[in-house]
Amino acid sequence: MILPGKTIGILGGGQLGRMFAIAARQMGYHVHAFDPIHYGPTGQIADHEINAPYDDIKSAQRFARMVDVVTFEFENVPAETLAEIGKIKPVHPSPRVLDTCRHRLREKRFLESIGVAVAPFREVTSIDEFTAAVKAIGTPGILKSAEFGYDGKGQLKIDPATDITSAWQSTGQSHSVYEGLVKFDKEISVIAARGESGEIKCFDVAENLHRNHVLDVTVVPARISEATRDQATEIAVKIAESLDVVGLIAVEMFVVDGRIVVNELAPRPHNSGHFSIDACMTSQFEQQLRAVCGLPLGNPALFKPVAMANLLGDLWKDGEPNWKAALRDPRVKLHLYGKTEPKPGRKMGHLTAIADSVEEAIKLAIEARDASGNLFVATTETHREERKFS
């Protein structure tokens, strides 16, 4: 058990690390961050920051000797670096969990091995395999790089009219996965926390609305049946137990005619869990801290319906957003990530709105974002992405 006063090491310097560091500092822990970029979102909160490339083994070893336990907010840390850190201090979730979840092919094969439904897929390492995969699965589909993909990066949609050869060449001809598109009713996620003792607690099921492959709005509780809610939670628990996770695992899923198809896994806090900071008894970041430190898990109970709206860099195109207008209703909360350079599509922060109903929470969050200067209006229909599942 790693008690308050000890030092937590976090690999990665983005907003997830920042919010984790805030939770850790609140509970009396010290935080050291390892990040190639100086004074990023996490470094602004951490007690100490080591700036070095993730493949700098000597710096990673020095980092490990300064802390009591290591966790991460960023999957793309080289396996060799994690292995060396693991020789010095415990890493949670384990490098094995990370190695499975950050590689799409290993992830899908793992899910199939435990009887969890996934979209139809084929491994692709050559133009011949790509051609055969498209023929077997059909179109539309998505060609995804096996590694280093998130928020729609490393993905290419394949339609009936797509030139297969040109598409393959445009990807750099890397190790990939071709996946059939799924026609879903809802896109949901469950964040499960698991401690070393095997204790598991899940946050309420979130309903996620995307725009341009990036999460735009999260609604909790999800507007699904109790049976679907129970099924989604059971799947998240099964995955956490099968991977022997110590920490958090976020499970992204599609609801397809009342059944669940798992899309992706993330062994860390997740964008769709940000609502928990304001709307739950225990946030996902405090829960991650409790799990990796061997403390009893907190109660993830939801206080009231909530909606979370992402704030992307596009919002800053005409200067600083109008925060006074955005926060006119006291039920709206603002979280900014300390990023100094707004860029289109870059996650700069989020708004959380708490209300007596899901519909009212969505309305509050969207109106607050619109008032700040973003004129996009989110609806279920504008976010729905038709995906074919066979």
Query: Could you read off the pLDDT of 160-197 as tens digits, one per residue?
Result: 999 999 999 887 767 899 999 999 999 999 999 999 99
Q: Can you tell me the distance from the alpha carbon of 105 to that of 88, in angstroms, rounded to the nearest whole number?
A: 30
Predicted confidence at residue 169, as pLDDT, reads 87
Write down the CATH number for the domain with range 186-383: 3.30.470.20
- Enter the tokens of residue 127: 């133009």
Predicted confidence at residue 171, as pLDDT, reads 76
pLDDT in tens, 278-334: 999 999 999 999 999 999 999 999 999 999 999 999 999 999 999 999 999 999 999
Using 50, 70 and 90 to split pLDDT, how confident is the model at 5?
very high
Using 50, 70 and 90 to split pLDDT, how confident is the model at 389?
very low
Predicted confidence at residue 147, as pLDDT, reads 83
Question: Residue 380: is its pLDDT beyond 50?
Answer: no
Q: Can you tell me the distance from the alpha carbon of 209 to that of 21, in angstroms, rounded to the nearest whole number?
A: 27
Write down the CATH number for the domain with range 7-91: 3.40.50.20
- Enter the tokens of residue 215: 């999460």
Q: Where in the chain is the domain with CATH 3.30.1490.20?
A: 120-180
Task: Give the mean pLDDT of 22-27.
Answer: 98
pLDDT in tens, 112-127: 999 999 999 999 999 9
Q: Can you tell me the distance from the alpha carbon of 31 to that of 46, in angstroms, rounded to the nearest whole number?
A: 5
Q: Indicate the pTM of the whole model.
A: 0.92
Q: Can you tell me the distance from the alpha carbon of 125 to that of 120, in angstroms, rounded to the nearest whole number?
A: 17
Q: Where in the chain is the domain with CATH 3.30.470.20?
A: 186-383
Predicted confidence at residue 153, as pLDDT, reads 65
Predicted confidence at residue 382, as pLDDT, reads 39
Question: Residue 384: is its pLDDT beyond 50?
Answer: no
User: Pick from 337, 282, 346: which is nearest to 19 by CA?
Assistant: 337
Predicted confidence at residue 385, as pLDDT, reads 37
Question: Residue 152: is its pLDDT beyond 60?
Answer: no
Q: Which class is 120-180 in CATH?
A: alpha beta
Q: Where in the chain is the domain with CATH 3.40.50.20?
A: 7-91
Using 50, 70 and 90 to split pLDDT, how confident is the model at 383?
very low
Neighbours of 73 (CB within 10 A): 24
Predicted confidence at residue 174, as pLDDT, reads 77
Predicted confidence at residue 374, as pLDDT, reads 46
Computed over every residue of the chain, the mean pLDDT equals: 93
Question: Residue 378: is its pLDDT beyond 50?
Answer: no
